[in-house]
Structure 1
């Protein structure tokens, strides 16, 4: 198979060299207004492009007719591919629009500026160069320059309702909470002394009453002592972590237990004094 293809290469090359050429016969353009009246109609000269460009209004229609023929035989030919190329030399943008050709080689193309194709480049400073591109398997490809085309200025693109969401947003700046302020050492010392003052008073009174009072850690008084320690621990916990609602809830429970234990401790002390009398 590879040898056969190699042997056929010269034949294919010879056929390409001897392939016929395509030509365009009777090219003509017509410019119509929106009401159908003819504004301009001219035959296109392929040897010398007209210096006056074809100008279209916002509602005008351009009609282009021509016939593709074999240059040698003059018979009509239907190319495999036929395109109109709109090229802007200043911006480099181009648009390709296919053209239907009949088996007899006749073609007709309409360009309505009221509904222009999406392939048409946007209008620029210079007119668009319009050329015809022909492609065929049995003929040499051809490119024919037709005329220059001036189209209306492009309208701005419609604004999408969510268009503002695609714009850059302001930079988000985080505001951090300032560091917690520590009270002065003097205030902390006074607060600590106020918290420990009840213990100092309690121990002082216990030392002045004498040895006849039951010991502070006796079974009847120790629950009251423990409840006071719980209250002090809650105050410390509140300073570190607890919230106001939590300390009120826990503190009310500890105060109730302290009141019950204190009543029991006072009753024990009073009974002990009566027994000594």
Structure 2
């Protein structure tokens, strides 16, 4: 005799558990009112989680659609992880979702105006299908159901403007760049100025040598002891000046660097041999 009652209690417990594991909402109210009206004089409709509203809702161009509800998990008010009002164009299936702003106790609201809607929904010939979606983590069954149909009453004096087409990555027309001809040398005035400055310093250099006691008599001994070293060293110095001159007048950097590298190597090797010869004369007491 106890078996039927036990089964009944188990069935009731199972039903309660299933009911507690589903998302839904309570105290849902839909209003359509103009700004500053405080909700008076507009449309006001109660929404049921079990069936869509039988009354078609009209949203004028300057009015605001507002939905206030309490999200529930089972019979307890609770904030879900996701809560949206979704408007769908029935012909194309295009839709746009608007999130609810919710509190911890599940109370929340969402407001929508025609300015928030994309062009594809504004130009719909059929009423938009409005659905409410409530879902969260865990095993609770999410809620997603058709709530009402929304008809848009557009402003005839300011029809919706079609959006500009997005940029596509396709071949573009050829752009012909015209660049200024690169100068091969510097301004002549600057070149002339520095040339005069260098030539003017040569007498100063020779005068300093004479004042410091440069011994020109050792020139013959130097070339007699190491003619190749001294000849290559002086020649490489003059050649380097020629490389700089060619770079200034006609060569580019890639033409100048290899030649400068060869001349510099010759100057380094021959200069070290020439300095060795000079050191030997200094150690012999010749000044």
TM-score (normalised: structure 2): 0.45
Which structure is larger by alpha-carbon Rg, 1 or 2?
1
TM-score (normalised: structure 1): 0.46
